Every structure is written in C-alpha cells, then in structure tokens.
C-alpha cells in the first residue's frame, strides 16, 4: 500500500509537470512575462498603441477593474502615444549650429525655409557651413553609404542595387551632374528632385552637408 | 559460450565502426559536392558577365561608332529621367521618338526645351503640362551628338530583333539579371548538397538496417548451430536457449522504476527549462501586419539598417520607420503588390501601420542603441542575428542579464584614436586588454537605476 501511495504521488507530479510543459512552440507568443507591468508600463511609451480601454484592461488581474498599466491614450488618434511635431517648429537640440574652432568658427542656424520648388534659390544662396576636412569627408562617406549608396552606387554612378530596380538614377560624374553645386545637392537631399523623394526626415542638416562634401568628391571621379 | 558473446560484441563494434565510417565518408562526399558547386557558380557568373556587354553593343545597320557615342551620351545625361523603352520615368520613354517627332524639333528641344515651349509650339506646351511642368535641363550638344543619341535609341528599340530584347532593355536591367544569376546558383548549390545529404543519410540507414538483419541472422544461425551440439554443458545450453520473458521483465520492479525514473527526468528537465524560460522571448517571431522581408531589403538589396531605422546610431531606440521612408522607393517599386497597397492605405487614411514589437526589454533594464552601435561599434547582427536572411524577424538573442554580462566580459573596448580612454588606459593593467567589464560594464547602476 505504501508503495502504491508513493506511485500515486509520483504519477500526479508527472502528469502535472507534463501538462505544465505541454505547450508547443508558438512564434506568435512572446511567452510568460514574470513582471508584466515592467514590459507594459503605465507611462505612455512612444511606440505603444492601445486603441481602446477594453484592450488595455485585458492584462489586469481582477476583472472589471481598470488596468494599472498599459493605459489607452484617449487623446490621440488611434490611441497612439506619439504625435507629429507642431507644424513649422524645428527641434533645435538635434541641430549643430557652430562649425570649426576659434577664428574659423562658422555659425549656421541651418533653418532653411526654401520652398521645394525653388532649387535655384538654394543653388544661389546656400553655402556649406561644415569645413571640408578629412574627418568630415570620412563621416560623409559613412553617411553616404548608409543613406545613398543602395540607389546611387558606391561611386555615385547610379548603379546601386536598388537604383537599378528603381531606374532613373543619375551618374554624378557625367554631364550636368558633374558641376552641380553644394546648395543644389543639399536641396535635392532635403526635398528630392525628379524621381528622388525627400530624405530630409532621415538625415539632419549637418549630416546632409557632410554628404554634400563627399558627393563633391564623387563628382570628380571619371 | 564466450564465443557467441565475443561474436556479438564484435558485431556491435563493427556496427559502430561501419556507421562512423559511413558518416565520415558521406561528410567528405558532401564537402566535395559543395566545392564543386562553388566552382560551377563561379563559372556561370564569369560567362554571364562576359555576355552582357557583348549583347548591349551589337551594332545593326547603323554607324557603329556613332551609336557607341550616342550610348555614352545617353547613359551619362538621359538615363536619370528617360528610359529607352516606352516606360515613363521622370520624362516620357523614348521608344519610337524618331517616329513621333521630327529630328529638327528634337534638336531644338534638347538644346533648350524652355525656348521651344515659349515659342508656343503646341506639342511642346502639351508635353510640358502633361509632365507637371517639370523642366528638362538644356543640353549644349552639337547636332551630330544629338543625332547619335537618337540613333542609339533607334538601334536599341528596332534594330537587331532578338538582340534588342536582351541588350535593348536598358543597361540597368541587363546588369541586375546578371547579378541575380550570381546569387541564385549559390543558393541552388546549397539546396543540391543538402538534398545529397538526405539521400546519403537515407542510403546509410538502409545499409545499416540490412547489416543489422544479416547480423541477427548470423546470431540466430550460430545459436541454432550451438543448440544442436550435444556435448554442451547444461549451463551453456541454458544460455543458448535463453528466452526473454517480456511479461516478467515488464512486471519487474526494476523495469517499472527505471521507466518512471527516465520519464520523471525528462519531464523534470523540460519543466525546469520552461521555468527558466519565463521572461525570455527568444524565438518570438510574430506575424506582422505587412509581410515585410528583411531578407529582401537588407539582404538582397543591401539597404543599410539605418536608412529605415534612422536613429539607431543617435538615440536609445533604433526607431521604426514611418511610411514616408517606405515611399522613398515604393512610390515606384512594386506599386501593385497587395502588401505595398497596405502602405498606401495607411497614408491615405492617415493611420499608423501597427507593427508588432519583437524585442521588448522590461523597464527595469536600460539599454541604449547608440551607445552600442555608435560608441561600441557593435554590428546589428551581434544581437539581432542574421537579420539580412530573415523573412520574418525573430528574436534570436535571449536578452537576459547573463547574456548582456557575458558580452560585457568578453568584448574588448576599442580605445584607438579616442582620447576619452587615455586616462582609463593608463590606470588599467596594460598586460590585459581593456574589456567592457573594466570600464564599468558590470556595474549594477549602469543598466538598473
């Protein structure tokens, strides 16, 4: 009898553990979180979007009570946490305004309110505030490889892998493209031109000017 | 009786040796076939690369030198806006341009399109309006140069029949097909060798089963032979005629206990494993609202991660791209795909695309992307796995504290050309390399505060 009881206990354990572990791999399931309110906090997170209160309440322990974490944002459309910046405002903290040191320092506010159709104005008025040092060129090259290369190609020949599929990517070092000035290139990066769409949202002004320096070296290639 | 035992032992050993030998042999065969595959691939690419330019410059019934000059001029000045076919890029496609417009008009237009428009030419004004008043830049070409360009366009579209189909498609198209060829055979080669592998494994299994059958036959034959011998002592006879009583074995306590123990051990291990997996989402690969493929974008097209995840070198979060970044390419590429239509839909309705978050660190742990990518120079793949091969993004790393700490202990700090580390280096024992752990990478408050 003693043995049987022991077997029963063991058997119960085995069944219990078996059930506990019986869940198969589900790629859509992130698994058990041991401190859920640390993964889904009360505070609004930029990328979190809770569309309605019911969804927010799903994770609450007691039924009917409001959730103490993952609050729905009832003020923004679609329950989003992020909002668009106010129109016409410029986030200054992202923008470097002084370049060079000592007497060579150039102050540039980089607020260019040039309309996207006024590329001639950009060509005429914009001057590159970033000095063309070796360091800047190296940075420009890195930035070019990140934001431009897949279309414009490693040497600006318009032969990037995406560029071939996208079609209509110019070669920097031929025809009219060879002599395009800094203001023009800066304006095209910011607002796009022809088939190229604006990239101002991805690359900030100082980075654009560094890329402009590097593009000038690509224009000189054969 | 030791004879039979030794035969049995010998047979078992032989089995093992056979198996290992076959395994080694098959591995060698697989390696050999893989080598052959790679050399074949190299050959394909080479011949392909050789053929592309040959097809492109096939002169037909036109002055070859002129056409060649026209090709250079066209590629250098026109391809950004015009296709050789009738496809509209920025401006109209130039297929049949010589039939559409007289040569003198074309020459005037290319030299100074604005002048032609201002002269009130109806066709020019209509064209200008049709293409949203996009100004075609003026080109200071001679008559001869313009004629050569027109001849090149003509030759590409009409001359040469079958050649036109291959070479006539813009150079842009001809080259990627070559590039594609260099990728596909490589993958195909991998497929073939893995196929070989399964075939070899299957063949091995069949052979091993046959050997097993033969050995069982040998054993039973030997047993029969021995049992027929009359001069065997009783003990040996018992051994030879031994029959295993299955019922008895199953009912024995030892057997029951053994089975229970094994079962318990397995279940216990699984249970402990799954307990340790609480809070670890490794392998999580949720279905996303748009079937975006990193394999296609980051792998095949080699778009840099930061093109879309723009803040990965600047900020704590790597950022999820908004639809305008998709549109930089998808205004023109794959516009009719149902997956891409979802982007258009989101933009038209001013609605966010609700991507499912894959990597989620709890709030008690601080992690900063820029610190690792920009300062540390760590590749994205270090933590996110071979993202450029993933159709659906999967969490590859466990994102546990042990995993973080392990990397901080092993990773050497790149101090070269960075004045910030000068004093730290001076203080540090110079015999051992400076690891992240040595600059506070294990401090609790670095990540928990």
pLDDT of B444:
94
What is the residue range of B33's domain? 2-49+178-243
Helix (H, G, I), strand (E, B) or coil at A67: coil
Domain-ending residue, one of B193, B218, B243? B243
CA distance B449 to chain A (A): 13
Tokens, residue A184: 């023009």
The whole-number pLDDT of residue B264 equals: 95
pTM beyond 0.90: the answer is no
Residue of chain B nearest A81, judged by CA positions: B352
Predicted pLDDT at A164? 86
Do B74 and B97 fall within a single domain? yes
Q: Is the domain of B194 the same as that of B228?
A: yes
Nearest partner of B225 among B3, B6, B9, B10, judged by Cα: B3
Percentage above 90 pLDDT, chain A: 28
Least confident span in A15-19, A47-51, B59-63: B59-63
pLDDT at B131: 81
Instruction: Identify whether residues B146 and B213 lie together within a single domain.
Output: no
Does residue A80 sit at the B interface (CB-CB below 8 Å)? Answer: yes
Residue A167 Cα, gap to closest chain B Cα (Å): 7
The pair of three-digit structure tokens given for residue B316, joined into one six-digit string: 């704590």
Cβ-defined contact of A49 to B354 (cutoff 8 Å): yes
Contact call for residues B422 and B379 (beta carbons, < 8 A): no
CA B210, CA B187: separation in Å to the nearest integer? 35
Nearest-neighbour CA in chain B from A108: distance (Å): 21
Same domain, B72 and B120: yes
A142 and A158 Cβ atoms separated by less than 8 Å: no
Say if strands A106-107 and A98-99 run parallel, antiparallel, or are unpaired.
antiparallel
Question: How close A150 comes to chain B (CA, Å)?
Answer: 6
CB contact under 8 Å between B310 and A202, yes or no, is: yes
Report the CATH number at residue B137.
Answer: 1.10.760.10
Contact flag A28-B360 (C-beta cutoff 8 Å) = no
Tokens of A90: 């410029």
Indicate the pLDDT class of residue A189, thresholds 50, 70 and 90.
very high
Same domain, B93 and B135: yes
| B145, HSE (Cβ side, Cα atoms, 13 Å) | 13
Residue of A nearest to B366 (CA): A38
Q: How far apart are CA B40 and CA B260, in angstroms?
A: 55
Minimal-distance CA residue of chain B relative to A3: B253
On whether any CB of chain B is under 8 Å from the CB of A12, the answer is no
Please tell me whether residues B111 and B184 are part of one structural domain. Answer: no
Same domain, B130 and B188: no
CB-nearest partner of A14 from B264, B333, B392: B264
Written as six digits, the tokens of A182 are 């800094």
Tens-digit pLDDT string for chain B (449 aa): 445 555 445 544 554 444 445 444 444 444 444 444 433 333 333 333 333 333 334 434 577 888 888 888 887 778 777 888 888 877 888 888 888 888 888 888 888 888 888 888 888 888 888 887 777 877 878 888 888 888 888 888 876 443 433 333 333 333 333 333 333 333 334 456 677 889 999 999 999 999 999 999 998 898 888 877 777 777 777 777 777 778 888 888 999 999 999 999 999 999 998 888 888 888 899 989 999 999 999 999 999 999 999 999 999 999 999 899 999 999 988 889 999 999 999 999 988 888 888 998 888 999 999 999 998 899 999 999 999 999 999 999 999 999 999 999 999 998 888 888 888 888 887 788 889 998 889 999 999 98
- Mutate which of A21, A59, A222 to test chain B, going by most B C-beta atoms within 10 A? A21
Inter-chain Cβ pairs, chain A and chain B, closer than 8 A: 161
Q: Does B41 share its domain with B64? A: no
Give the CA-trace dihedral at B417, B421, B426, B432, to 10 degrees.
-90
- 3-state percent breakdown (helix, strand, coil) of chain A, nearest 5: 45, 5, 50
β partners of residue A80: A49
Q: Which two tokens stand for residue B114?
A: 């604005």
B69 and B45 co-located in one domain: no
**Whether B90 and A168 lie within 8 Å, measured CB to CB:** yes
B76 contact residues in A (CB cutoff 8 A): 171, 174-175
Domain boundaries along the sequence of chain A: 29-83, 92-219
A116 in contact with B, Cβ within 8 Å: no
Decide if A113 touches B, using CB distance below 8 A.
no
Indicate yes or no: CB of B283 within 8 angstroms of CB of A25.
yes
Tally the domains of chain B: 3
From B175, B307, B362, residue closest to A35, measured CB to CB: B362
Q: Can you read off the two tokens belonging to residue B251?
A: 């009912």
- The answer to whether the CB of B15 falls within 8 A of the CB of B215 is yes
- A9-23, A100-114, B369-383 — which is least confidently predicted? A9-23
Which pLDDT band, with edges at 50, 70 and 90, does A181 fall under? Answer: very high
CATH code for residues A92-219:
1.10.760.10
Higher pLDDT, A51 or B95: B95
- Residue owning tokens 């540039």: A108
- Overall average pLDDT of the A25-45 stretch: 76
Residues B67, B208 within the same domain: no
User: SS3 string of chain B?
Assistant: CHHHHHHHHHHHHHHHHHHHHHHHHHHHHHHHHHHHHHHHHHHHHHHHHHHHHHHHCCCCCCCHHHHHHHHHHHHHHCCCCCCCCCCCCCCCCCCCHHHHCCHHHHHHHHHCHHHHHHCCCHHHHHHHHHCCCCCCCCCCCCHHHHHHHHHHHHHHHCCCCHHHHHHHCCHHHHHHHHHHHHHHHHHHHHHHHHHHHHHHHHHHHHHHHHHHHHHHHHHHHHHHHHHHCCCCCHHHHHHHCCCCCHHHHHHCHHHHHHHHHHHHHHHHHHHHHHHHCCCCCCCCCCCCCCCCCHHHHHHHCCCCHHHHCCCCCCCCCCCCCCHHHHHHHHCCCCCCCHHHHHHHHHHHCCCCCCCCCCCCCCCCCCCCHHHHHHHCCCCCHHHHCCHHHCCCCCCCCCCCHHHHHHHHHHCECCCCCCHHHHHHHHHCCCCCCCEHHHHCCCCHHHHCC
Residues B222 and B154 in one domain: no
Among B88, B92, B172, the residue to mutate for chain A (most A Cβ within 10 A): B172
**Minimum Cα–Cα distance from A154: chain B residue:** B302
Number of helical (H) and strand (E) elements in chain A, helices listed first: 9, 2
Task: Locate the chain A residue with the closest alpha carbon to B274.
Answer: A21
Domain identity same for B208 and B229: yes
Q: Is residue A172 scored above 50 in pLDDT? A: yes
| B279 with A47: Cβ contact below 8 A | no
A28 close to B (CB below 8 A): yes
C-alpha distance from A78 to closest chain B C-alpha (Å): 7
* Residue positions counted in chain B: 449
- Residues from chain B that touch A39, judged by Cβ atoms under 8 A, are 360, 362-363
Alpha carbon of residue B163 to chain centroid: 33
Helix (H, G, I), strand (E, B) or coil at A41: coil
In a domain, B350, yes or no: no
Locus of tokens 């506010």:
A109
Collect all residues of chain A within an 8 Å Cβ-Cβ radius of residue B175. Answer: 159, 164
Contact A197/B328, CB-based, under 8 Å?
A: yes
Q: How far apart are CA B43 and CA B48, in angstroms?
A: 8
With beta carbons less than 8 A apart as the criterion, state whether A130 and A213 touch.
yes
B76, B312, B331, B353, best to mutate vs chain A, most A CBs in 10 Å: B76
> What pLDDT shows up at residue B186?
35
A46–B328 C-beta distance less than 8 A: no
The span from the CA of A112 to the CA of A200, in Å, is 11
A27, A149, A194 ranked by CB distance to B80: nearest: A194
Of B87, B137, B284, the CB nearest to A27: B284
A171–B354: do the CB atoms touch at under 8 Å? no
Distance from CA of B159 to the nearest CA of A (A): 23
Q: Residue B401: its chain A contacts at CB < 8 A?
A: none
CB contact under 8 A, A28 and B137: no
CA distance B263 to B271: 12
């Amino acid at each position: 009898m003693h043995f049987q009881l022991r077997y029963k206990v063991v058997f119960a354990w085995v069944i219990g553990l078996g059930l506990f572990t019986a869940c198969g791999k589900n790629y859509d399931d992130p698994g058990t979180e041991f401190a859920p309110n640390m993964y889904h906090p009360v505070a609004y997170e930029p990328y979190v979007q809770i569309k309605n209160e019911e969804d927010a309440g799903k994770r609450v322990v007691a039924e009917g009570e409001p959730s103490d974490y993952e609050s729905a944002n009832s003020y923004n459309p679609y329950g989003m946490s992020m909002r668009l910046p106010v129109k016409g405002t410029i986030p200054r903290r992202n923008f470097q305004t002084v370049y060079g040191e000592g007497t060579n320092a150039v102050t540039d506010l980089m607020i260019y309110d040039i309309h996207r159709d006024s590329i001639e104005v950009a060509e005429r008025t914009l001057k590159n505030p970033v000095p063309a040092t070796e360091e800047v060129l190296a940075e420009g090259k890195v930035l070019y490889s990140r934001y431009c290369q897949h279309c414009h190609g490693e040497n600006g020949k318009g032969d990037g892998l995406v560029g071939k599929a996208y079609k209509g990517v110019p070669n920097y070092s031929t025809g009219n493209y060879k002599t395009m000035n800094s203001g023009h290139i800066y304006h095209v990066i910011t607002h796009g031109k022809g088939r190229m769409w604006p990239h101002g949202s991805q690359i900030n002004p100082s980075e654009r000017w560094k890329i402009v320096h590097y593009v000038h070296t690509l224009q000189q290639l054969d | 009786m030791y004879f039979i035992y030794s035969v049995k032992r010998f047979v078992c050993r032989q089995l093992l040796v056979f198996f290992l030998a076959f395994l080694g042999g098959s591995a060698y065969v697989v390696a050999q076939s893989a080598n052959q595959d790679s050399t074949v691939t190299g050959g394909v690419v080479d011949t392909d690369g050789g053929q592309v330019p040959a097809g492109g410059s096939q002169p037909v019934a036109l002055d070859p030198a002129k056409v060649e000059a026209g090709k250079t001029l066209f590629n250098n000045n026109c391809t950004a806006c015009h296709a050789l076919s009738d496809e509209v890029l920025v401006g109209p496609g130039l297929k049949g341009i010589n039939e559409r417009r007289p040569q003198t008009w074309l020459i005037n237009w290319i030299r100074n399109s604005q002048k032609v428009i201002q002269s009130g030419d109806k066709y020019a004004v209509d064209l200008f309006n049709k293409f949203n008043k996009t100004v075609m830049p003026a080109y200071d070409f001679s008559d001869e140069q313009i004629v050569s360009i027109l001849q090149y366009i003509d030759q590409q579209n009409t001359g040469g029949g079958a050649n036109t189909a291959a070479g006539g498609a813009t150079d842009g198209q001809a080259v990627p097909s070559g590039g594609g060829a260099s990728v596909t055979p490589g993958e195909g080669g991998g497929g073939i060798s893995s196929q070989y592998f399964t075939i070899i494994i299957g063949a091995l299994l069949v052979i091993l089963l046959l050997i097993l059958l033969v050995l069982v036959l040998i054993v039973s034959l030997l047993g029969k032979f021995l049992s027929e011998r009359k001069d065997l002592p009783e003990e040996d006879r018992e051994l030879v005629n031994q029959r295993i009583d299955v019922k008895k074995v199953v009912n024995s306590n030892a057997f029951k206990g053994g089975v229970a123990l094994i079962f318990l051990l397995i279940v216990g291990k699984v249970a402990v494993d799954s307990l340790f997996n609480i809070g670890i989402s490794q392998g999580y690969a949720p279905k996303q609202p748009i079937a975006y493929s990193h394999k296609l974008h980051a792998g095949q097209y080699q778009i840099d991660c930061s093109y879309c995840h723009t803040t990965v070198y600047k900020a704590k979060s790597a950022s999820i791209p908004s639809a305008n970044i998709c549109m930089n390419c998808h205004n023109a590429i794959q516009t009719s795909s149902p997956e891409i239509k979802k982007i258009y839909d989101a933009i038209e309705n001013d609605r966010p695309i609700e991507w499912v978050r894959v990597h989620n660190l709890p709030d008690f742990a601080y992690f900063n992307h820029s610190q690792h990518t920009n300062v540390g120079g760590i590749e994205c793949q270090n933590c996110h796995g071979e993202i450029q091969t993933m159709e659906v993004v999967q969490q590859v790393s466990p994102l546990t504290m042990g995993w973080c700490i392990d990397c901080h202990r092993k990773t050497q700090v790149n101090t070269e050309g960075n004045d910030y580390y000068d004093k730290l280096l001076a203080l540090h024992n110079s015999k051992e390399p400076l690891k992240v752990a040595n600059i506070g990478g294990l401090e609790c408050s670095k990540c928990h505060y």
